[in-house]
Amino acid sequence: MARTGKSPPLSVVILAAGQGKRMKSALPKVLQPLAGHPLLAHVLDAATALEPALIHVVYGHGGEQVRMAVRAPNLRWVHQADQLGTGHAVQQAAPGIPDDHVVLVLYGDVPLIRTATLRELLECAGPRSMGLLTVTLADPTGYGRVVRNARGDVLRVVEQKDAKARELRIREGNAGVIAVRAPLLKRWLAQLRNRNAQREYYLTDIVALAVKDRVKVKPLLAPTVAEVMGVNDKLQLAELETEYRRLRARELMREGVTIIDPARVDIRGAVSCGRDVVLDVNVVLDGPVQLGDGVRVGANCVLSQVRIGARTQIKPNCVIERAELGTACEIGPFSRIRPETTLHDGVHVGNFVEIKKSDIGAGSKANHLSYIGDASVGAGVNVGAGTITCNYDGANKWRTHIGDQAFIGSGTMLVAPVKIGAGATIGAGSTITRDAPEGVLTLERSAQHTVEHWQRPAKQK
């Protein structure tokens, strides 16, 4: 659901300036990969779904590396030269936020936040109220504590290092995500001080300032802990990877997909499936991926940016990337379909066959140990075992054209550029360097010789 015309315009501020020392990596923390995409990209996806007028990304460590790694509409980059706390980070973005906007503050290292939760939080941001996302934790160590009065009203947020013993016993933690009208936020940002254990300007201090100004702080409890979990080291990154995998698998199973072992499937990016799709163990789907009705994907397959027609079977250990497959195809085992390849209906591609940048007509077969690259193959063609399209001369790529119903014998070299006519037969073991006419047999073979009295070399004893 998009924001309605009656709602104030939305500015999203994403804090992404941290170095992430505990990652022990040259890659900035917000660019660490989760399900094959940077942490920051996941947050941007959730924010973009809200249709904000502006997204302000506050960056610091990583500089241009961060800016070049992600893209989103209506994106404004804000540099935080010195990392002096979350409040200081938002202060850098504040001058670019119009006063008639609602501001939503997110974090570049909290990747599983859901758009639905953010929409609910935005409803808490009124002329005299602000929304605060909180979470109940069995062990809240490291989180700021949400302090309430006897009536349950939120009074303030106390950071871990500044908390007293009784406050450390509070299990409700601050998730850090807030929604507030821009004029209120700007007023409180101007009042922040760094009189605390870390000598930083805490964004969380605006909660106490809101209470002081009699602005209602409306807490929203996060539906799950995973949704607000941040990433500080590779262990936490792996934990979120597991959670992300679990969530995506559950989504697909609710849509009717059969997943043999949900713990051993990776769903990355947009994936859509028809009815009666089956995914075996260790399948990786790197979206966008579209699987038609009745598609079966065998164990250990990797499908990246593909569209696969109904009733196609992908047997184990296949890699298919940036390709389109028609209906009722049979692929594998151990096949590789490379980018810019189209397989039409009923194509069979067998074990240890590689196809690249080619168009394969309906009902054609390449069942064993062949390479087809930069080729146009007609319908009903049989490509024998060990056939190679020799498409590269060391400097340029050339195309091979094979007409409908042609039969290519085993062990054939087709030296491009070359055309094989419709209905032609190419004798096994041939090296074809000139066009082969339609409907006849073409073959090329050197004379066979037997050398009498020849002896095989033997190793010296």
Secondary structure string (H, E, C) spanning the chain: CCCCCCCCCEEEEEEECCCCHHHCCCCCHHHCEECCEEHHHHHHHHHHCCCCCEEEEEEECECHHHHHHCCCCCEEEEECCCCCCHHHHHHHHHHHCCCCCEEEEEECCCCCCCHHHHHHHHCCCECCEEEEEEEECCCCCCCCEEEECCCCCEEEEECHHHCCHHHHCCCEEEEEEEEEEHHHHHHHHCCCCCCCCCCCCCCCHHHHHHHHCCCEEEEEECCCCHHHCCCCCHHHHHHHHHHHHHHHHHHHHHCCCEECCHHHEEEECCEEECCCCEECCCEEEEEEEEECCCCEECCCCEEEEEEECCCCEECCCCEEECEEECCCCEECCCCEECCCEEECCCCEEEECCEEECCEECCCCEEEECCEEECEEECCCCEECCCCEEECECCCCECCEEECCCCEECCCCEEECCEEECCCCEECCCCEECCCECCCCEECCCCCCCCCCCCCCCCCCC
What CATH fold (topology level) applies to the domain 251-442? UDP N-Acetylglucosamine Acyltransferase; domain 1 (2.160.10)
Residue by residue, what is the 3-state secondary structure of 357-398? CCEECCCCEEEECCEEECEEECCCCEECCCCEEECECCCCEC
Beta bridge partners of 425: 407, 441
Cα(420)–Cα(260) distance, integer angstroms = 44
Flag residues of the chain having pLDDT under 50: 1-2
Name the residue ranges covered by the structural domains of the chain. 10-228, 251-442
Q: How open is the CA angle 327-330-335, to the nearest 5 degrees?
A: 125
Cα(135)–Cα(226) distance, integer angstroms = 10
User: Phi and psi at residue 386, in whole multiples of 5°?
Assistant: 75, 15
Within 8 A by CB and 6+ apart from 124, the residues are 130, 131, 132, 179, 218, 220
- Give the predicted TM-score (pTM) of the model: 0.84
Q: What are the residue numbers of the active site?
A: 368
Task: Report the CATH architecture of 10-228.
Answer: Alpha-Beta Complex (3.90)
> What pLDDT, on the 0 to 100 scale, is given for residue 255?
94
Strand order in the sheet with 365-368: 258-259, 278-279, 296-297, 313-314, 330-331, 348-351, 365-368, 382-383, 407-408, 425-426, 441-442
Distances (CA, A) of 331 to 324, 351, 377, 410, 439: 12, 8, 17, 19, 29
> What pLDDT, on the 0 to 100 scale, is given for residue 1?
40
- State the CB neighbour count (10 A cutoff) for residue 76: 14
